[in-house]
Amino acid sequence: MSHALDASGAGSDTPNLDFAGTTPYEDYVQADVLTHLQHLRSDDPGEMVFLVTTQVMELWFTVIVHEWETAAKALREDRVPVAMDALKRSLRELEALNASWRPLAQLTPAQFNSYRSALGEGSGFQSAMYRRMEFMLGDKSASMLVPHRGAPRVHAELEKALHEPSLYDEVLRLLARRGLPVPASVLDRDLSQRYEPSPQVEAVWTELYADPDGQPDLHRLGEVLTDVAELVWRWRNDHLVATRRAMGAKTGTGGSAGVTWLEKRAQKNVFPELWTARSHV
């Protein structure tokens, strides 16, 4: 193939131009698929960035779920450094996810109205990958499967995630294996239910934080989880503020009360005991 390029003047130090089929880049990245998934519903020029930002966020959700699943598996196998690497990657990814609010953060009501009606009842509330993230964080809810009854693959993946230990469940099991008094009621909990904060778990984190050098890897794990929690909280708050700017107190396309509903969601603490334990150290 390279001699054809030489004949056209391209030297061996220039990129290859000649491929029998699609390019190896395309075969790997599927850019042609990815860049033709933007099916706009209005003539408004501002709809494109709304749709693509949503798609970009879905991709980041997918990567982050992958990292947290890697971390959960590594914790189950007592491979704390492998889990730490995955969690640290997820911090940079959460930052990139949060930065992708920028193009939507200053939408005016008139701009949003230009394509809002075209969304019908569509809402991020129906994002299955976001729900997987919440499940990994311990925020389980069987009712969140209901919107996905019509999509068998998505429903099956969410149902599996509902019944699996969350990232936080794996952390607490690890702490128990490392000799910390995590109560049996927490270790044997019904995994399909939302994780409820426990005073004994708070005491375990207090102990770890009071003596950071006692089990330094577990203290570092606590801090990286706190970073995850903070960045998830920031995503929820950036979403809340963008929504308040774009639509004030109107009801959501998904049927909720809108901003007041999102305010309640943004108040939820990720890994609650990691925050409350700080008052006792």
Q: Which residues bind ligand HEM (CB under 6 A)?
A: 53-54, 57-58, 104, 107, 123-125, 127, 130, 239, 242-243, 246-247, 252-256, 258, 261-262, 265
**Residues with Cβ < 8 Å from 155, sequence gap 6 or more?**
145, 148, 149
| 72/135 Cα distance (integer angstroms) | 12
Judged by beta carbon, residue 85 or residue 157, the one nearer ligand HEM is 157
| 268/28 Cα distance (integer angstroms) | 39
Taking the complex as a whole, the smallest distance from the CB of residue 259 to ligand HEM amounts, in Å, to 7
| 207/209 Cα distance (integer angstroms) | 5
Taking the complex as a whole, the smallest distance from the CB of residue 275 to ligand HEM amounts, in Å, to 19
Judged by beta carbon, residue 58 or residue 159, the one nearer ligand HEM is 58
Judged by beta carbon, residue 186 or residue 246, the one nearer ligand HEM is 246
Judged by beta carbon, residue 72 or residue 246, the one nearer ligand HEM is 246
Taking the complex as a whole, the smallest distance from the CB of residue 257 to ligand HEM amounts, in Å, to 7
Is there a contact between 92 and 186 (Cβ–Cβ < 8 Å)?
no
SS3 199: helix
Taking the complex as a whole, the smallest distance from the CB of residue 72 to ligand HEM amounts, in Å, to 21
Judged by beta carbon, residue 76 or residue 245, the one nearer ligand HEM is 245
Taking the complex as a whole, the smallest distance from the CB of residue 93 to ligand HEM amounts, in Å, to 14
Judged by beta carbon, residue 97 or residue 180, the one nearer ligand HEM is 97
| 140/165 Cα distance (integer angstroms) | 10
Q: What are phi and psi of 261, to 5 degrees?
A: -70, -45
- DSSP result, 65-127: HHHHHHHHHHHHTT-HHHHHHHHHHHHHHHHHHHHTTGGGTT--HHHHHHHHGGGTT--GGG-
Judged by beta carbon, residue 208 or residue 239, the one nearer ligand HEM is 239
Taking the complex as a whole, the smallest distance from the CB of residue 134 to ligand HEM amounts, in Å, to 7
Helix pair angle (80-99, 216-247), 10° resolution: 20
Taking the complex as a whole, the smallest distance from the CB of residue 135 to ligand HEM amounts, in Å, to 12
